[in-house]
Amino acid sequence: MELLSTNVCFDGEHRRYRHHSAALDCDMEFAVYLPPAALGASARKVPALYWLSGLTCTDQNFMQKAGAQKKAARLGMALVCPDTSPRGLDLPGEHDSYDFGSGAGFYVNAIRQPWAPHYRMYDYVVKELPQLVESHLPITEDRSISGHSMGGHGALIAALKNPGHYRSVSAFAPIANPSECPWGQKAFSGYLSDDRRAWEEWDATLLIPTARERLPLLVDQGTADEFLDSQLNPDALADACEKVHHHINLRMHRGYDHSYFFIASFIDDHLEHHAEALGLK
């Protein structure tokens, strides 16, 4: 891993790294916040929250706008934030729209060309990146996962598809039923197939009935979110959970939109949720 930058933050360190990803076959950058407990003479390994960002974002959006470091420092929790897609490939059509290709990997493993050799963000965030940071940084194998919008979708499917891999999961304004919204349909048809049956393993609402582990879901959603009705559909996720008694705490927040102002307002609640599962409280 090549260290790109480091900043002291609440007596911890915010670091940015570059490495070559075998899963994506390209160079990738990601960010890590190490709390004070992981640094210095009395340093110890700490658990981590993996944060998956939304469309058009990189690792820098969450780290600079969410205001999570202060609480993470107090809890003794690392934050790991990957990018949202492969970079530097310049595949045909990759940069043509904001909701497909560059910045829009959707946390799936693509099977259609030319995306299949590189757009494997699911394998990257679930397998490769944790192995990398847990091998080279003072981070334990105790993991939680969260995310926003497209990243909320990614966090939910990562937890639902990998029993025992994460201690807890949460999401802000997730794309909860991507098979039934324009963003998801565009991504799934482009990366996967026109056969909707191939989409089912990447849709949190459709995974709920057969989930082999039922981690409680914490989902925050703003009522003034401009994408609520057309893209996000949290009610479908809640209905699926109710039918199989999968615990979900869906909190609707009056007046909040889709921005990082919303995330910053409630990020501490999510960190507390994960801290309890990670044994930090």
Of all helices (H) and strands (E), which one includes residue 169? Answer: strand 169-172
- Active-site hit among 153, 258, 273, 274: 258
- Longest CA–CA span in the chain (Å) reads 55
Residue 8 CA to residue 199 CA, distance in Å, equals: 42
- Catalytic residue flag (residue 274): no
CA-to-CA separations, 248 to 40, 178, 205, in angstroms, rounded: 39, 18, 12
- Please check whether residue 33 is in contact with residue 130, taking contact to mean a CB–CB distance below 8 angstroms: no
Structure tokens belonging to residue 235? 């009610």
Q: What are phi and psi of 117, to 5 degrees?
A: -70, -20
Specify whether 265 is catalytic.
Answer: no
Please tell me the number of Cα atoms within 13 Å of 125 on its side-chain side. 39
Q: Which of 144, 149, 168, 170 is catalytic?
A: 149
Tell me whether residue 11 is one of the annotated catalytic residues: no
The single residue of 59, 83, 203, 225 carrying the catalytic annotation is 225
Q: How far is CA 183 from CA 100, 119, 175, 176, 265, in A?
A: 8, 16, 8, 11, 26
CA distance linking residue 101 with residue 115, whole number of Å: 9
Catalytic residue numbers read 149, 225, 258
